[in-house]
Amino acid sequence: MDRRESLKLLALALSATAPGVLTAAGCRWTASDAERAAREAEEARSRGDFSPQFFTDEEYETVRILADLIIPADDRSGSATDAGVPEFMDFIVTDMPDMQDPMRQGLAWLDVYARERFGASFAACSDAQRVDLVDAIAWPEDADPALEDGVNFFNFFRDLTASGFWTTEAGMADLGYMGNVFVAEWTGARKSEIERLGLSEAPWETL
Amino acid sequence: MRHIISPNVYDVAVVGSGAGGGMAAYVLAEAGANVVMLEAGPMWDAATDGDMFTWNYTSPRRGASSKERPFGEFDGCIGGWEIEGEPYTHAPGTEWDWFRARMLGGRTNHWGRISLRFGPDDFRGYSLDGLGDDWPIGYEDVAPWYDKVDQLVGIFGNRDGFYNEPDGDFLLPPAPRLHELLVMQGAAKMGIPVLANRLSILTKAHNGRPACHFCGQCGRGCATGSNFSSPSVLLPPALNTGRLTIVDNAMAREVTTDREGLATGVSYVNRNDMQEYTVRARTVVLAASACETARLLLNSTSPQHPAGLANASGVVGRYLMDSTGASVAGIFPQLVGRTPHNEDGVGGAHIYIPWFGYDQKRGFARGYHLEIWGGRQQPGYGFVDGIHTVNNLFEDRPRGGGGYGMQLKQDYRDLYGSVVGFSARGEMVARYDNYCEIDPDVVDKYGIPVLRFDVRWSDEEYLQIKHAQEASRNLVEAMGGEILTPMPSKEEGYGISAPGQIIHEVGTVRMGDDPAKAPLNAWCQAHDARNVFVTDGAPFVSQAHKNTTWTILAMAWRTADHIVELRNAGAL
């Protein structure tokens, strides 16, 4: 299996616990460092003066715009920046040094591409111009092969945005995740779903 | 360096606090022996040190893996394939990933609680297909101890009467989750059997431990002790006898011996002060993990044991095995956008697929079982990574997969929990040529010579995994899903895991009646040092495809009972 394929497979295991799944990560933070950094980031964010460790101010502006294009607010939950995704990304790329080059080079690629098309950095483009730029790289199968680097970056950034968004309290509430609680009595699958799928209960005796 | 020798002479020194060491200490202390246990890592208590019920959002990593915690930052096992200061090496061109736990309870803090008994065929592989060797004992010799383990520890399952999958003394199993019922329906179409899983998780209160509360987080350490780990089940009663002393942060160096070649104790490096110590004991029980136990024996050289203790046969370190592994995942339209439901359940699958090809003509030896995963688990780092490869599978999207914005946001909601995976765990044939030995050039940070591995899969394993890949892919299709990854080619080894990855290492200090061919006798007692015993996975003559812990527990109890008998008879 080619590494990218296997990463796809493993990544899709996502919400499942596959035996033996691991993500590559060289850690720089200890657990207490991480806790402190997260607390400080959260406090700074609520004060509105978060200062990224990894991103430059220009990069960070682009990160915020891109993240909210990927996950905007709707009537069920807020946007990526509402959920603290840019702060999350700043932490993760610091924590996982292997991600630093793809992130930095990708953001640089986007600015080069924006300048080529519209003569301005991505952040300095208009909303309509940004949509134009992102439209060109957001659908891998449909994209111009010459933009492959941009497509790969956008896939990477989309994934990281999702990790940062759906793992928050608000993201989990939006998904309707009902677990991580004490369950006194396990009753199995939802009966209406068993019927909808035309399935049968286990033939053996259960709790 | 100072060398501090304990004034006490214990009845038994046990190296390792996991399944094998914990069980030996429990049985021996209960029987009246004074036992000292060495553990290479720190003390650890799931109730106070574990992360059960921790929300992923309380950490900026959101549960991601790290080098120190390869199974996620909240995982309850301290250890991994790489441990700082504790290297191991490989023969050129070979792979072996060696997972080590460094904590009280060892790898009983890291396992799926899948507690399958080896069946009659698993003890007599050579007689059936001419490969490997038979064990010097049969299923009927171990069965009474499997029963005792079931009763002491607690296990759920269903009495299926399935071929070569002996039933145990089971608690009721939990009802399957939705995706597991879907697997059962697809498997039924193919004539593939699905059984209730057999996990050492309590579905009702048992021996003073409360029932499972279905949070799905066994891997983080169970604060209520409702699943099996050595520190939650075996060590408390052993400590309550007042006859067990646990020495933590003790990295064993070698078994010391006297002029007759009998064991006199164990020397170790204290990781806190880096000084050298020796505990003295009349009997030594090794349960440090198959490879660590082999390493200890090989490092225990003396004039009486020039090739290492218990190694007159020269096969210590040889016949090293792991399970084969491969995973296939599919995504299922029926599961897309389903009504939210708490699908946590126990910390593992509620069903499993036993080896179903035992009576079929096939081009490889031995079998495998399939472990199933999926469901709406707590979102963590990596949530629906790679969505651009799947969000156009069940809906017409003119531009293909990917995108951004409102549609994408809805896709995440809909696709959450729509993936189901199958992980094959298969039996590797025991071979003399697969081994670990002492690397003459490398020591760890304690100055202890390290292991060098030389392990290769053979065609038996490759073809077995090819079969498992094909069966899993057919299952995904029978269930109406889309397979997520192409079939790996022969050149890619059909997607087989690197040896060691499945963390079922066994077989380095095997049992056998002939002292020229095996280090241990049928009671896991060294042929050439009667007061040395092994109770981890090292004595296994074959691996079966079955997760090894339940058999380690049963064999360790059997060996410990034998030690008690020998002690009572004055034979030690």
* Token pair recorded at residue A166: 């759906």
- Residue B90 belongs to what H/E stretch? strand B89-90
Best residue in B56, B59, B66 for a mutation probing chain A (most A CBs within 10 Å):
B66
Q: Are A133 and A73 in contact (CB under 8 A)?
A: no
CB burial of residue B237 (10 Å; 0-12, 13-18, 19+) = middle
- What is the structure's pLDDT at A8? 42
Band the pLDDT of B301: cuts 50, 70, 90: very high
Residue B158: which of B144, B146, B171, B148 has the closest Cα? B171
pLDDT in tens, B381-391: 999 999 999 99
Residue B356: which of B457, B474, B458, B492 has the closest Cα? B474
- B208 Cβ under 8 Å from any chain A Cβ: no
- What is the structure's pLDDT at A42? 72
Band the pLDDT of B537: cuts 50, 70, 90: very high
CB contacts of B345 in chain A (<8 Å) are: 186
Band the pLDDT of B1: cuts 50, 70, 90: low
Domain coordinates in residue numbering, chain A: 27-179
Residue A194: which of B348, B421, B339 has the closest Cα? B339
* Closest Cα in chain A to B345: A186
Using the predicted structure, report yes or no on whether residue A15 has a pLDDT greater than 60. Answer: no
Q: CA of A119 to nearest chain B CA: how many angstroms apart?
A: 24
- What is the structure's pLDDT at A23? 32
Using the predicted structure, report yes or no on whether residue B526 has a pLDDT greater than 70. Answer: yes
* Token pair recorded at residue B232: 């939650």
Using the predicted structure, report yes or no on whether residue B90 has a pLDDT greater than 80. Answer: yes
Distance, in Å, from the CA atom of B266 to the CA atom of B538, rounded to the nearest integer, reads 18
Average pLDDT, chain A: 86
Using CA atoms, how far residue B386 sits from A146, B112, B392, in Å, is 21, 26, 12
Question: Is A179 in Cβ contact with B216 (below 8 Å)?
Answer: yes
- What is the structure's pLDDT at A25? 36
Question: Is B381 in Cβ contact with A141 (below 8 Å)?
Answer: no
Helices (H), B416-526: 459-478
Distance, in Å, from the CA atom of B170 to the CA atom of A1, rounded to the nearest integer, reads 39
- B498 Cβ under 8 Å from any chain A Cβ: no
Cross-chain CB nearest to B419 (options A13, A72, A175)? A13
* Closest Cα in chain B to A143: B399
Using CA atoms, how far residue B328 sits from B370, B487, B569, in Å, is 10, 9, 54
pTM: 0.94
* Token pair recorded at residue B508: 């380095």
* Closest Cα in chain B to A139: B402
- B80 Cβ under 8 Å from any chain A Cβ: no
How does DSSP assign B13-55, residue by residue?
EEE--SHHHHHHHHHHHHTT--EEEE-SS----HHHH--TT--
CB contacts of B73 in chain A (<8 Å) are: 31
- What is the structure's pLDDT at A100? 97
In order of start, what are the domains of chain B with their CATH numbers? 1-156+219-323+431-455+504-572 (3.50.50.60)
Q: In this prediction, does ipTM exceed 0.85? A: yes
